């Protein structure tokens, strides 16, 4: 009659739901469920409806596939940004990280993932076709050498594979293609850098301009 683990089926179901989130263990899930139980009903309703509305009502920008409240995201709708420089990223989060640097004034293209045969993600699962169409359309109306596609993808093999796949698709357009600089982090000690990073930092060394 009494479940040894949970005094209530409703509690058990809530703990299981919360525990299904990445990085949330059973113990934290229980803590969070009991926390929510102690909150005013109105606060809990607000909490769950914010999540429901995010999932059900958020839109994706028809140009760059970034999440957006409208059909065109704020970045693509901004005339002050350089629409001939397109930074290709894996996810929404990457756009937010780059925006935080305040160093980038171009636009984006969110792939929605990365090519990974192990995870079963192929090119057709990503927004590569729409990127190629977008770049081709740009290259038809503007000189291709004025257009730049920047790969801001992971340095792991999946990121490099994805970049190479897109690079081949874009090669006929004649646009400039670049990728993020990689090397020692600013302020990093040589002692703590891994060999690959240190080696590449040497190979890709830049002119010293003090």
Sites of contact with a second copy (CB under 8 A) = 1-11, 13-14, 16-18, 20-23, 28, 30-37, 39, 41, 44-59, 66-69, 73-75, 77-78, 91-93, 95-96, 99-100
Distance CA 56, CA 67 (A): 12
For residue 81 the two structure tokens come to 């940004």
Residues near 204 by Cβ (< 8 Å), separated by ≥ 6?
181, 182, 183
Least spacing, CB of residue 130 vs a second copy, in Å: 18
Least spacing, CB of residue 179 vs a second copy, in Å: 24
Per-residue exposure over 29-41, b if at least 16 CB sit within 10 Å of its own CB, e if not: bbebbeeeeeeee
Question: Based on CB atoms, which residue is closest to a second copy, 50 or 157?
Answer: 50
For residue 70 the two structure tokens come to 């409208």
Indicate the angle between helix axes 128-141 and 157-170, nearest 10 degrees: 40
Question: Based on CB atoms, which residue is closest to a second copy, 11 or 132?
Answer: 11
Least spacing, CB of residue 82 vs a second copy, in Å: 15
Least spacing, CB of residue 5 vs a second copy, in Å: 8
Question: Based on CB atoms, which residue is closest to a second copy, 20 or 124?
Answer: 20
Question: Based on CB atoms, which residue is closest to a second copy, 119 or 145?
Answer: 119
Helices first, then strands: H and E counts in the chain: 7, 6
Residues in the chain: 210
Question: Based on CB atoms, which residue is closest to a second copy, 6 or 169?
Answer: 6
Least spacing, CB of residue 210 vs a second copy, in Å: 32
């Amino acid at each position: 009659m009494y479940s040894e683990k949970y005094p209530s089926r409703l509690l058990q179901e809530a703990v299981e739901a919360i525990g299904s989130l990445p990085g949330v263990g059973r113990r934290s899930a229980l803590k969070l469920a009991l926390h929510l139980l102690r909150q005013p009903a109105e606060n809990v309703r607000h909490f769950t409806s914010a999540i429901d509305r995010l999932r059900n009502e958020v839109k994706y920008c028809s140009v760059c596939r970034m999440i957006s409240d409208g059909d065109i995201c704020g970045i693509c709708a901004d005339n002050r940004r350089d629409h001939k420089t397109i930074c290709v990223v894996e996810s929404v989060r990457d756009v937010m990280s780059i925006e935080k640097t305040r160093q980038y004034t171009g636009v984006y293209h969110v792939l929605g993932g990365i090519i990974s045969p192990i995870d079963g993600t192929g090119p057709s699962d990503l927004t590569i076709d729409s990127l190629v169409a977008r770049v081709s359309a740009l290259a038809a109306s503007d000189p291709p050498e004025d257009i730049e596609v920047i790969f801001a993808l992971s340095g792991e093999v999946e990121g490099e594979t994805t970049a190479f796949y897109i690079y081949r698709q874009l090669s006929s357009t004649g646009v400039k293609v670049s990728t993020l600089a990689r090397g020692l982090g600013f302020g990093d000690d040589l002692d703590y850098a891994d060999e690959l990073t240190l080696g590449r930092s040497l190979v890709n060394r830049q002119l010293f301009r003090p």
